[in-house]
Structure 1
Amino acid sequence: MAKQRINRELIRGLEGERLATLAQGDVPKLRDIYDDTLTGFGLRMRPNGSVSFVYRWSAPEGQQKKALGRWPAITVEEARAAAKSFIGRTDHKSDAMSTRVAKHERRVADARHCAMPTVGSYLDGDYRTYWLGTTRSETPEQNLKNIRRDFVDLLLKRLDEVTRPMMKKWIEARIAAGHKPTGINRTLGAIGGLFTHAVEHEIITSNP
């Protein structure tokens, strides 16, 4: 298999060759070209001119191939980055044990990241069920409404995306708006209960 630097110039050159072949009345051939710097990263140009990016590697169980996407819906740069990300998480036959362990940890972190709920979904789901079943408040829904009202900017963020600087900025904005410390602390306590519940149930590993 030919190895060349995969970039937009190469694709344009391949397309020019394909059109020249058609102009001569011949049928273009299927072209498979692999990158000369990133091992396993390649492209396939079909006779009809469509181009797709692939990654080939030797896995412990044998040769494998993964489709990365079609050009131009995915750029060369995006395809190359996707291949590098995939390499960093996929076991290769040549990997040392320490490398495989590191890749496994990345895969576990990715799965956890994808499963992480947003503040809003957790508020309406597990935390709401817990709160309504344990609170002695005579207006249990009000606590949940207050969180939605006062932290509207956080509702679409994942639980692990909320940081201490975000909360500090929120406190500073409330103080600047003239809110009393007692009210600020009460509201912080409300959302703090949500994050404490998430930590206790190992949804996240630390408080915001």
Structure 2
Amino acid sequence: MVAKVLTMQSVERHKPQPAGRVEIPDAALPGFYLVVQPSGAKSWAVRYRFGGKTRKFTIGPYPLFDLGSARAAAREALQMAARGRDPVLEKKASVEAALAAERDTVRAIAAEYVERHLKPNSKPRYAAEAEALLRNHVIARWGDRRIGEITRKDAIALTDALTDGGMGVGANRVFSAARALFNWALEREVIETTPFLRLKPPLAEASRDRVLSDAEVRFVWLAADRVGYPFGTLVQLLLLTAQRRDEVARITWAEIDANGVWTLSAARTKNSREHLVPLPSPARAILAAVPRIAGRAGFVLTTDGAAPSSNFAKNKVKLDTAMLAIARQEAVDAGRDPDGVELVPWRLHDLRRTASTGMARLRQPIHVTEAVLNHASGAVSGVAAVYNKYAYVDEKLAALEAWAGRVAKIAYPGLAEG
């Protein structure tokens, strides 16, 4: 076929041939041509010499590429070949780079991190919380950027924006979740360094060392009685057993055996170790008195049988209100000004620390108290900790009974310790 200068009109006129594809060369740019398929589809390509061989570079379909843009792309490819660069290899490298950029976005790497590392190696609740922090603050801010492009300045700007927005210590949680993501990417050689290197959490957090006074323990116990089941019961069990909030809140009847030993499976504990809690007699008495609400899970503390006790923040406000009312009424009874009575803020977790401190004051051995808390005791460490699998059930029961007796004496002054 004799080459003619291609025009938009001639491109439109060329029809498909049933016999096969047709190539129509452009006399204005040797090597550049229009391809017409039997189906009628049209596209552009250019042939060139590289490394002693004829190569074909596909530009793209018509009319996505009109004649002018296709001819310009062909000219660029020919010039590239003349400078010793292969347009086909350059295009392939460009496509691979674009795909790599898409794979290496913060959004894509975060999704892989969650599925490959966070979920398999974390408790479900922690994994869900960390994933939400990444989704709401890290991906929302950097999702479409390549993870390797995130700089130290970006990391600082992230935490500054959170603290400026009044997020408080929650900014530290976002910082930790983001740092863990970037450390994981660094370990897998997705990035060469992490922007969080040597950065510290944005806010200093006060150490958690609050221990309730005897007076506060008394008000907690009496207020829990007033609030009633299930939250008041939860509070009293927290104080008597020294276990964690969620462990007690999700207690089931199936976990408690006939001897009053409560078994927390490894899946239910923070350190993933099975934990035996011999319930002291006041705790057993409390459980014997609670209503049994039918439900498949068998939760002890529930309102509908389907879900465990929750709404902790709302119920804690009710408890604090009851505590303050009791304290002020006692002030009135004693002839003092009730308006001068205030409560020092406290958290449910402080009950665990208060119980631990109380057992220590009762001269319970430290390794027994640590066993009650399901801690790896420093008193039993190293090789001894590996081989010492003794559960200390009897010793734990003795410690918890002693502490329960102390609580009873605090809550009801004049009551003889049993």
Asked if TM exceeds 0.5, the reply is yes
1:203 aligned residue: 190
Question: 2-side partners of 1:204 and 1:106: how far apart?
Answer: 25
* 1:185 and 2:181 aligned: no
Report sequence identity in percent.
19
Q: 1:83 to 1:197 in 2, by over 3 A?
A: farther
Q: Indicate the RMSD between aligned Cα atoms, in angstroms.
A: 4.5
Question: 2-side partners of 1:64 and 1:74: how far apart?
Answer: 21
* 1:43 and 2:33 aligned: yes
1:69 aligned residue: 60
1:82, distance to aligned residue in structure 2 (A): 8.0
Amino acid at match of 1:146: L
Question: 2-side partners of 1:205 and 1:173: how far apart?
Answer: 26
2:46 aligned residue: 55
* 1:124 and 2:111 aligned: yes
Gaps of 5+ in 2: 15-21, 196-418
2:133 aligned residue: 146
Question: 2-side partners of 1:15 and 1:109: how far apart?
Answer: 29
1:69 counterpart SS class: strand
TM-score, normalised to structure 1's length?
A: 0.59
* 1:14 and 2:16 aligned: no
2:166 counterpart SS class: coil
Question: 2-side partners of 1:61 and 1:82: how far apart?
Answer: 19
Question: 2-side partners of 1:74 and 1:105: how far apart?
Answer: 19
Question: 2-side partners of 1:47 and 1:105: how far apart?
Answer: 26
Question: 1-side partners of 2:91 and 2:8: how far apart?
Answer: 36
2:192 counterpart SS class: coil
1:187, distance to aligned residue in structure 2 (A): 0.8
Number of residue equivalences: 181
1:57 counterpart SS class: strand
1:56, distance to aligned residue in structure 2 (A): 1.4
1:3, distance to aligned residue in structure 2 (A): 8.8
1:142, distance to aligned residue in structure 2 (A): 1.7
1:198, distance to aligned residue in structure 2 (A): 1.1
Q: Deviations over 1:82-127 (max 9, x none)?
A: 8747986xxx5973xxx68xx9899667535513343333323245
Q: 1:189 to 1:80 in 2, by over 3 A?
A: farther
Q: Deviations over 1:20-75 (max 9, x none)?
A: xxxxxxxxx96311655xx85x2327599975321212233621212212221223
- The structure with the largest strand share of the pair is 1
1:63 counterpart SS class: strand
2:131 counterpart SS class: helix
2:61 counterpart SS class: strand
Amino acid at match of 1:174: L
